[in-house]
Structure 1
Amino acid sequence: MTKAFYSIVLVFTLVSLSAFAQTIDLRGTIADQAGKPLVGATVLIKQIERGTQSKTGGVFSLTGVPQGKHLLEVRLVGYEPAKQEIAVSPSSKNEFKFVLKQTAVEMKGVEVTASRRKQEQSDTRTSILTIEPRDAKFKAGAAEDVLRSLQTLPGVVAPNDFSSQLIIRGSGPDQNLIIMDNIEVFNPYRLYGFVSMFNPETVSGITLMTGGFPAKYSDRLSAVLDITNRIGTKEKVFTGMANISLTNANLVLEGALPFWETSWIISTRRTYYDLIAGPIAKASGAVDGDIALPNFRDVQAKIAFSPFDNHTFYLNGISSRDNTELTSGATRTQADSISIFDKSFNDVAGLTWVWSPSTKLITTTTLSYYQNTGANNFGGEGGSNSLFGDTVTRESLERIQDSLRKLGLEVPRLYSVEGSTSFNFKKTSIKSDISWNATTEHLIEIGCAIDFITTGVDFEIIFDPRLKALRASNPRIAALPESFGTSIDYLRMNIYAQDNIKITKDFTIQPGLRFDRFEIIDRSYISPRLSASYALDPTTTLRGACGIYYQSPGYEKLFDRQVFLDLTTSAVQTLKAEKAMHYILGIERMLTPEWQIRVEGYYKDFDDLILQEKLKGTNYRTERIEGNDVTKREGWTAPIAYEGDSLTTTPINNATGKAYGVEFFLQKMQTAGDNPFYGWLSYSYGFANRYRDGFTIPFNFDRRHNLSITGGWKANSWLDVNFTWSYGSGFPWTKPVGVKPRIIQEKDTVTGMNVAKIDEDWRGVVFAIDRGGDENLNQARLPDYHRLDIRGTTYAEWFGWKWSFYLDIINVYNRKNILSENYNINRETLEIETRQTSMLPILPTIGFSVKF
């Protein structure tokens, strides 16, 4: 018995030792079909119950795999699972490459496995936020728009209800780098900013880096938004879907071709409320002639094909148009009138080549062309509110004018403006990126790019003298010449290198270095950057980052900035690129497999900010004459000239700034279990100031408190309910400090010289709002903002097609959130009366989608 026992033990020991001696270590990479490495994918061999996750660069390693045949499975949320039969032996390379196919946005909820981490612990990137395409499509109040779906994330502020722009950590939208399929786009907005160019039905990846981004990104001070569009299905020759709402239609068609593993996808969108509302407005007499209320259409296409092993090519194309045409009707009721003819285009073409000669090396080369052009003519008369204290009818204005004309008094006229503008931005780029997994401890990334940029701007605007004076009295209005025309050609070039270094099992750093050449200012810059992550335990990660960031001037950045700069002047020769220093520290913890929490602090130091130059010029003031009627010219002295500051369009590095704060993010992930609730809570506490000429001026979108609660409830297999509640403390605003006579300059009919005079109408002196100087700029606050949005989506399957129907209600309790304040002067008391302009009221929309 004892001999038998020892014999059995010996046999099992020998077998075990033999098996141990024959185990092999596997290595490989996981990427999407665009060649982008995928982090956090699960790699599993079920037979031996061994698994791991892909790390930075999409790299995975699996140790102790016995020799023989196994089934290797790879899974990642948002991608179709991949399986591969592998033969493991000491004589083979035992290196494997997986390319995961992105899934389309499904009609029903995407189930997120509870074991999935949002970010691998060895990923050193700070301030990174990712959302699923489904979040962009189904988020309440987001109008199925990608950019709007990001506005409830930590550090992100929406400027107002009408804009999809992103204000990130105290920086303007012009300081955000926006990339789509490896192509930088200057103007990602449609409908004049109300929605974005990104189609939620075709987007596969949405990554926002709100600070501390690595060296591979450049020419922006604040943040990076990286959007990836999916490729078409390879499973069917033809399939598609349509989405119809009250305001627009969206059609997506896709399929496969029988050669080179080719797939294609094409989508088109068109707003059509203009086709309905336009004829109604015309029939009412509000407008005349052929009209087109604001509308847009676009076509997007992507083709993927692999003619050779390890070589994949992607062709991208986008063509879009925004259009508005309207003229106030001759039989209109209101006295104010407007005429607008505006048309703009956005076109993108790109070819990307992804080559993977081995599992350790991926190269991505992109050749792209981008063009954004537009032209408009406009004119009109307005300001009845300012002149009469209320909006007047056309009939009332004509009656007043006739009466005063008969009395021989000056006839009041509305403010008038007319003009035309055009712009043309072109960019041809070639860029190449190499990702080399040199060892298990080093992932090296290097790249270079060159951009050939042409920017042209032309405009001519005619303001009447009273409107000029009105503009001059408001310090929030930037200087603008009445005529301008130029075209500038210049290059941007860059080279970068960064290395993700695994110092220990728990500690990873990523140093990076970047060289930029900005030909427009004939300057070069070097930007060092560093990020690090430390795994305190398997569920807790500490991350930090710091770095230097530069942004060059350019006309293509001025639309987001809403300030005109003349980049043709000699001042450009001494201009420097704007600069920011980022310092970020954060901690993240998985409380449970479903709950994640993150707290992050940031500090940004801005330098060499570019503003309009102030020059000493001639201003005018008048003083009250005691005892005389202040509503008459006799109650004031003649205008007295004095030396004052005058804004010009010349650019100058004359401001600094700071933005700092702390952010809190709590997320409940959607899971495949019995818990139907998911969503997140985001809170930011921040400060953002600019410093110029000895004054501290709050940033236009400085918001002290910003809170968002976004949630969803999967009630059952056919119903989803989503909600979003947002709160924000008031934005800075410049309140009036008093009233003063308006002083205008008119040409003397005898001398031909401009003469300053107090403006008068039939009632006497015309008064203007006095907003003070720089010391008063942005020192007050608008009221706080809050809004609740709710969306319900129901699903069905009819005729073999998948259907979804939704009801989305924006601003459920009809909160009157204030967009701006306008001020009128009461002629009787000379007191200032405030008129507030509200944002969106309660707004229900309905729509449906069908997948065929």
Structure 2
Amino acid sequence: MRTNKFLFTLLFLAFNCIALAQNASAKVAGVVLDENNKPVENVSVSYQTKTATTDKTGFYEINVPANQKVVLVFTHKSLRNITATFQLKPGENLEWHVVMSEKAEQLSDVVITSSRRRVQGITSIEPETIRTNPSAMPGVESVLKTFAGVNANNELSSGYNVRGGNYDENLVYVNEIEVYRPFLVRSGQQEGLSFTNTDMVQKIDFSAGGFQAKYGDKMSSVLDITYRIPKRYSIMAEASFLGGSITGEGISKNKKWSAITGIRYRDNSLFVNSQETQTNFRPTFMDVQTNVNFSPNKRWQFSFLGNASQNRYNYQPLTRQTNFGTIDEPIALQIFYDGQEKDRYQTLFGAFKTTFAKDDNNIFRFISSVYHTQEQEYFDIFAAYFLGEVDTNIGSETLGEVTFSQGVGSQLNHARNDLDALFINAEVKGTHFINNKKHQIDWGFKYTRENIRDRIVEWEVIDSAGFSLNPPQIDFPNDQPYNPYVGPLVPFQNVRATNFIDIDRFSGFAQWNTKTEIGNHQLWITAGARFHNWTVSGDGISNAKSQTVISPRAQFALKPDWDKDMIFRFAAGFYHQPPLYRELRDMNGVVNPNVKAQQSIHFVLSNDYNFKMAKRPFKLVTEAYYKTMTDVNTYTLENVRIRYRANNEAEAYAYGLDMRLNGEFVPGTESWLSFGYMKTEENQNNRGFIARPTDQRLKVGILFQDYMPNLPNMKLYLNLVYNTGLPGGSPSYADAYTYQTRLRDYRRADVGFSYVLTEKNNERANGHWLKKFEDLSIGFEIFNLFNNQNAITNTWVRDVYTKNQYGIPNYMTTRVFNVKLTAKL
């Protein structure tokens, strides 16, 4: 308790000593090219009395004041001048690349916000915000979890659910290439690294619903990420108690070749050691990514995106003690383990993309990719538990220990699960502009071949006070110890199956965009449709049917001719989710090839309001949504493992309100506050509507960035999330209509402090050692600042003495401290 008060006081003082900043600076850097795409040397880049000159590679760098309009002038003795206007945030590093011409002068006003994304209902996230955000699981997903409508109760997982959907219902693209998650992962601490390497990111767009037809066939959301194309040589590195990363990028002398490569290593020992279960365990994860680009001329561009990752999860639990109950009647669960778990997840991914610009109005793209995953889950873990009263007598030698056992039992879990999956994709896309780009047509066709080889051998035996427990579905009289039990002795859970499955998919879309006017009001219209056909085949499958779904979608955005900068947007459409392999496999591991695509109809009404407060920019986005769902494939959710019933026997709905206020609460730094309300229910076989596993009613998220005016080198980053409890307090095997209990509310605060050593590099002499660094920072992070005990599931044990069942929370990580060093050359 004293520690909590100390940390709260520390945070409070940090907030109060941080005030408005003045005279902060920013940086503009880039490459100047001529019309032949060759670097231009000796270009003068000037702002008032400050001047920089391009070198042989055309590179320039100049420091400018922040929070005010800055006019940069590019001049050269044989080329026309270029004038560009900027307004940057303190500490912001903007890449601005220039093409100088011999013909006409150019005037350019740099606009940070994109009106096109705004009318499409897409939220853009700055890559720098992701890199600095303190989170136990760093990456894009950690920032998404602060948005309204995006929920996750597992800080060690990159998975998230959006507006009532589950982890499998979100599309993720990198450079227009769809990426996949592993299949067998059961818990968040097995995941390791998110696919996206944030040090390689240039642009991040996110839509929580009502997205366009050009995106794929999932029911909830789309995350669209673009990796940057290097313009100069650079190295970025980070090291901390949780691992490290290094990213290098460069460009050839003729500017035709460029490459960026990142290596990441992750060690989650700090988080594992903070949990209640004592283990011999050091989980390590590693991946390598590269993005290579080749542009022989202005019409052609070729790129390769590759990724190789390996997660090794060798887990040997020793003991665990969880205290619960009340002050008057404290109870503890004490478990002693034997055995171990050896898991391995190895993935290889490669994609080629070719872009051909026939002219300014016709662009074609060809994309091919291969994804190969080999996953292994092997474990034999024996657990002996004691449920009893805890000694609370201060001064007692057994203080905090179990002194009287009310229930004893044991449990043996066994698995030999192997999966080998190969996905091959080939896709062609086109973009056409008509009538001076007033109309835009997009289209695409894609073929996917999925080959899955899967073996499941998984069983669990439970013994309570010497009596083997049968599974709930076995209905056989059992009144031991008064009469002997003569029924069958079977495992409590038993799944055995071998599946060799092939899935062939054909999909495509066509989409039309236009901008028009109604009087003095501006109107944007987007309309399109998708189709998806798939067929399941494989060993032992003879009754599979080819299925096809069509998904029309439309968006309308209106910007009234008002003094206030507002945009109103309405989106509606069909969103189908043709089943992937995991959705075809039922609780017993048997594949049902005729599982239908789940269908959702989205209705989204939103308002986007840009305004200024205290002469600083702010944005308030409000979205009301309703989703009706049919042919729902119901599932159980335990930690991050989803097990489907593969039956399409339910209907569901979700509705809610999302609000997000973001802007410069402190000059030059973007922060936001989000609030969401949602309700989602499902009706299985007309038994009535009950809460879905992702029914999380209230959500509050805050991402706050700040810095000290008298010490501008010191930055502060705060991440706060509050979610009401999820359903899931009951056993996964239980009938959801009988048990509608919820987990406790999720509350988490992560804070990070960063001291930037290179903040005033422009004032240092040229020979100073810090001049070699573009950025050099030392950071200190506190994860789970207030040490809240957040539960992800319950462990259910039985007390034969009182004939009660107890749900003991499985807590996530406690407070953890981390130190990191970040450098960029």
TM-score of Structure 1 vs Structure 2, range by shorter chain: 0.7 to 0.9
What is the one-letter code of the residue matched to 2:453?
Answer: G
The answer to whether 1:543 aligns with 2:569 is yes
> Do the aligned partners of residues 458 and 74 (structure 1) sit closer, same or farther apart at CA in structure 2, a change above 3 Å counting?
farther
Give the aligned partner of residue 117 of structure 1.
113
Equivalent-residue separation in structure 1 for 2:816 and 2:127 (angstroms): 24
The answer to whether 1:184 aligns with 2:145 is no
Give the aligned partner of residue 684 of structure 2.
692
Residues 583-635 of structure 1 deviation map (CA, whole Å, 9 limit, x = unaligned): 0000111012611111110011110012479xxxxxxxxxxxxxxxxxxxxxx
Residues 741-791 of structure 1 deviation map (CA, whole Å, 9 limit, x = unaligned): xxxxxxxxxxxxxxxxxxxxxxxxxxxx9x97443233x333322222211
Q: Within 5 A, what are the aligned runs for 1:511-660? A: 511-520=527-536, 521-537=545-561, 539-556=565-582, 564=587, 566=589, 568-569=591-592, 572-573=593-594, 575-592=595-612, 594-611=617-634, 651-660=646-655
Equivalent-residue separation in structure 2 for 1:229 and 1:495 (angstroms): 24
Query: Is the contact made by 1:721 and 1:791 (CA closer than 8 Å) also made in structure 2?
Result: yes
> Do the aligned partners of residues 806 and 285 (structure 1) sit closer, same or farther apart at CA in structure 2, a change above 3 Å counting?
closer
Query: Is the contact made by 2:272 and 2:813 (CA closer than 8 Å) also made in structure 1?
Result: no
How far is the alpha carbon of 1:338 from its aligned partner? 2.6
Identity of aligned residues (%): 21
Q: Within 5 A, what are the aligned runs for 1:763-842? A: 773-778=735-740, 780-797=741-758, 798-799=769-770, 800-801=772-773, 802-842=775-815
Report the secondary structure of 1:732's partner residue: coil
The answer to whether 1:444 aligns with 2:444 is no
What is the one-letter code of the residue matched to 2:624?
Answer: G
> Do the aligned partners of residues 313 and 665 (structure 1) sit closer, same or farther apart at CA in structure 2, a change above 3 Å counting?
same
The answer to whether 1:82 aligns with 2:55 is no
Residues 454-477 of structure 1 deviation map (CA, whole Å, 9 limit, x = unaligned): 122112124337599465389xxx
Equivalent-residue separation in structure 2 for 1:86 and 1:297 (angstroms): 46
> Do the aligned partners of residues 73 and 447 (structure 1) sit closer, same or farther apart at CA in structure 2, a change above 3 Å counting?
farther
Equivalent-residue separation in structure 2 for 1:515 and 1:349 (angstroms): 26
Give the aligned partner of residue 422 of structure 1.
418
The answer to whether 1:727 aligns with 2:722 is yes
Give the aligned partner of residue 819 of structure 2.
846
Report the secondary structure of 2:556's partner residue: strand
Report the secondary structure of 2:817's partner residue: strand
Query: Is the contact made by 1:379 and 1:419 (CA closer than 8 Å) also made in structure 2?
Result: yes
Equivalent-residue separation in structure 2 for 1:425 and 1:556 (angstroms): 11
Of the three residues 128, 134, 141, the one matched with 2:135 is 141
> Do the aligned partners of residues 482 and 273 (structure 1) sit closer, same or farther apart at CA in structure 2, a change above 3 Å counting?
closer
Of the three residues 70, 79, 82, the one matched with 1:71 is 82
Give the aligned partner of residue 351 of structure 1.
352
Equivalent-residue separation in structure 2 for 1:326 and 1:414 (angstroms): 19
Query: Is the contact made by 2:258 and 2:292 (CA closer than 8 Å) also made in structure 1?
Result: yes
Of the three residues 682, 690, 706, the one matched with 1:713 is 706
How far is the alpha carbon of 1:669 from its aligned partner? 3.9
Equivalent-residue separation in structure 2 for 1:158 and 1:202 (angstroms): 25
How many corresponding residue pairs? 654
The answer to whether 1:668 aligns with 2:666 is no
Give the aligned partner of residue 384 of structure 1.
385
Give the aligned partner of residue 235 of structure 1.
232
Of the three residues 479, 504, 513, the one matched with 1:500 is 513
Of the three residues 525, 528, 540, the one matched with 1:509 is 525
Residues 424-480 of structure 1 deviation map (CA, whole Å, 9 limit, x = unaligned): 121111112211111232111111111111122112124337599465389xxx997
What is the one-letter code of the residue matched to 1:424?
Answer: D
Residues 640-685 of structure 1 deviation map (CA, whole Å, 9 limit, x = unaligned): xxxxxxxx98722101110100111101148xxx825530010001
Query: Is the contact made by 2:582 and 2:644 (CA closer than 8 Å) also made in structure 1?
Result: no
Report the secondary structure of 1:681's partner residue: strand
Report the secondary structure of 2:649's partner residue: strand
Query: Is the contact made by 2:235 and 2:249 (CA closer than 8 Å) also made in structure 1?
Result: yes
Query: Is the contact made by 2:704 and 2:719 (CA closer than 8 Å) also made in structure 1?
Result: yes
> Do the aligned partners of residues 703 and 286 (structure 1) sit closer, same or farther apart at CA in structure 2, a change above 3 Å counting?
closer
What is the one-letter code of the residue matched to 1:490?
Answer: I
What is the one-letter code of the residue matched to 2:472?
Answer: A
Query: Is the contact made by 1:567 and 1:650 (CA closer than 8 Å) also made in structure 2?
Result: no
How far is the alpha carbon of 1:164 from its aligned partner? 2.1
Equivalent-residue separation in structure 2 for 1:840 and 1:820 (angstroms): 13
Query: Is the contact made by 2:461 and 2:492 (CA closer than 8 Å) also made in structure 1?
Result: no
Query: Is the contact made by 1:549 and 1:580 (CA closer than 8 Å) also made in structure 2?
Result: yes
Query: Is the contact made by 2:506 and 2:534 (CA closer than 8 Å) also made in structure 1?
Result: yes
Equivalent-residue separation in structure 1 for 2:531 and 2:523 (angstroms): 27
The answer to whether 1:253 aligns with 2:248 is yes
What is the one-letter code of the residue matched to 1:658?
Answer: Y
What is the one-letter code of the residue matched to 1:582?
Answer: H
How far is the alpha carbon of 1:152 from its aligned partner? 0.4
Query: Is the contact made by 1:124 and 1:509 (CA closer than 8 Å) also made in structure 2?
Result: no
Equivalent-residue separation in structure 2 for 1:510 and 1:479 (angstroms): 53
How far is the alpha carbon of 1:389 from its aligned partner? 8.1
Equivalent-residue separation in structure 1 for 2:87 and 2:346 (angstroms): 37
Equivalent-residue separation in structure 2 for 1:143 and 1:611 (angstroms): 28
Residues 404-438 of structure 1 deviation map (CA, whole Å, 9 limit, x = unaligned): xxxxxxx9873223231111121111112211111
What is the one-letter code of the residue matched to 2:430?
Answer: I
What is the one-letter code of the residue matched to 2:455?
Answer: D
Residues 123-169 of structure 1 deviation map (CA, whole Å, 9 limit, x = unaligned): 5423x222111111111335432211210012100132332211100
Higher helix share: 1
Provide TM-score, normalisation by structure 1.
0.70
What is the one-letter code of the residue matched to 1:145?
Answer: G
The answer to whether 1:486 aligns with 2:533 is no
Equivalent-residue separation in structure 1 for 2:786 and 2:165 (angstroms): 31
Query: Is the contact made by 1:345 and 1:372 (CA closer than 8 Å) also made in structure 2?
Result: yes
Query: Is the contact made by 2:140 and 2:196 (CA closer than 8 Å) also made in structure 1?
Result: yes
Equivalent-residue separation in structure 1 for 2:271 and 2:803 (angstroms): 45
Query: Is the contact made by 1:529 and 1:547 (CA closer than 8 Å) also made in structure 2?
Result: yes
